[in-house]
Amino acid sequence: MLNTYWPIAYKDPNASLSEIRYSKWYNTTRKIVVSTTMKSSGKNIEVIHNDTPQHIKQLKQEKGKAIVIFGSPMLFQSILPFDLIDEFHIILYPVILGDGIPLFKGNYNKKNFSFSTIIPLSNGEVALKCISQS
């Protein structure tokens, strides 16, 4: 879905300024997709099919900016035991759905994080930034 909408969103005459900015950022940003089914990649897209923790470890050793995971609790869970997460951001929505994929699932060794930022948003959500203590 991301790669069908965002590459051309900036061309939409009804696009908001934030959509235009995000679309342009999306088009220039390196993207690494973790997938067992995706066969091809597009502009600035690399696909990781297996050995995800090792690939993430190699990426962390490269010069450059932070690695960001967009909405993938399964990917988060798969790399958490390998001490590869330095910080994470969560937007807490005040809604209980009763179902879904939990973010913290599995049998992990204790890993301490602290809240470095807590921002209440005008729509009732809370943005949390958590930083690793190890």
User: Which tens digit of pLDDT belongs to each residue from 65-117?
Assistant: 788 887 788 888 888 888 888 888 988 888 888 787 777 887 778 888 999 99
Nearest CA among 60, 25, 66 for reference residue 44: 25
Q: Rounded to 5 degrees, what are φ and ψ at 77?
A: -65, -35
Predicted pLDDT at 1: 60
* Residue 11 scores a pLDDT above 70: yes
User: Any idea what DSSP says for residue 117?
Assistant: E
Predicted pLDDT at 24: 95
Instruction: Summarize the confidence of residues 127-134 as an average pLDDT.
Output: 90
d(CA 46, CA 33): 6
Predicted pLDDT at 127: 92
Predicted pLDDT at 130: 92
Nearest CA among 80, 70, 66 for reference residue 2: 70
Long-range contacts of 1-4 (CB under 8 A, 24+ apart): 2/26, 2/70, 3/42, 3/45
- Which residues does 110 contact at the CB level (< 8 Å), separation at least 6? none
**Residue carrying the six token digits 């990649």:** 41
- Which residues does 35 contact at the CB level (< 8 Å), separation at least 6? 47, 48, 49
Digit-coded pLDDT (tens) for 31-68:
888 888 887 767 788 889 999 999 999 998 988 878 88
Q: Which amino acid, residue 127?
A: A
Predicted pLDDT at 80: 87
Predicted pLDDT at 22: 92
Predicted pLDDT at 17: 93
Predicted pLDDT at 85: 87
